[in-house]
Structure 1
């Protein structure tokens, strides 16, 4: 959980003016993240999810969007 919290904190630091993420629920091997914000209109919406995914991979965490 500590690694995930760091990934979320770093995501929010980098994207905080456009999008913020927070852990909504943790169950066994599933994590529900909630995103909110204005989101950049010129960026692809999925780029935000990919950024969190790639950030998590740096810490050995595997995150895959299942439902958006």
Structure 2
């Protein structure tokens, strides 16, 4: 059975993709404790706010009642494509922003 944090995180990713795909698509790669590793891929413009695409998931998480911080970002070296992996750690307490 999926715990409440995972359920809300999956809901946030689904909502994120609903409004941002195909330019940016997020998927949960794995989870370690309260840290979720999310792969971002797509045709998003790297010079037009690459980090904004990643930060946006943090705000969508807040809409589902989760507070999270980005604790790590892996970026490929060289011309390997547009894929990025961000680690989001869910922190204690609920977001003030509800639905």
TM-score range, shorter chain: 0.7 to 0.9
Residues 21-51 of structure 1, C-alpha deviations (whole Å, 9 max, x = no match): 0001111111100111111356301111221
Question: Among 33, 37, 41, which residue is 1:32 paired with?
Answer: 37
Does structure 1 retain, via aligned residues, the 8 Å contact 2:29–2:38?
Answer: yes
Does structure 1 retain, via aligned residues, the 8 Å contact 2:26–2:39?
Answer: yes
Aligned residue pairs, count: 68
Structure 1 runs not aligned, ≥5 long: none
Corresponding residue for 1:62? 67
Normalized per residue, the structure richer in strand is 2
Partners of 2:34 and 2:28 in 1: how far apart? Answer: 13
Normalized per residue, the structure richer in helix is 1
* CA drift at 1:17: 1.8
Structure 2 runs not aligned, ≥5 long: 1-5, 74-99
- How large is the Cα RMSD of the aligned pairs? 1.4
Does structure 1 retain, via aligned residues, the 8 Å contact 2:31–2:37?
Answer: yes
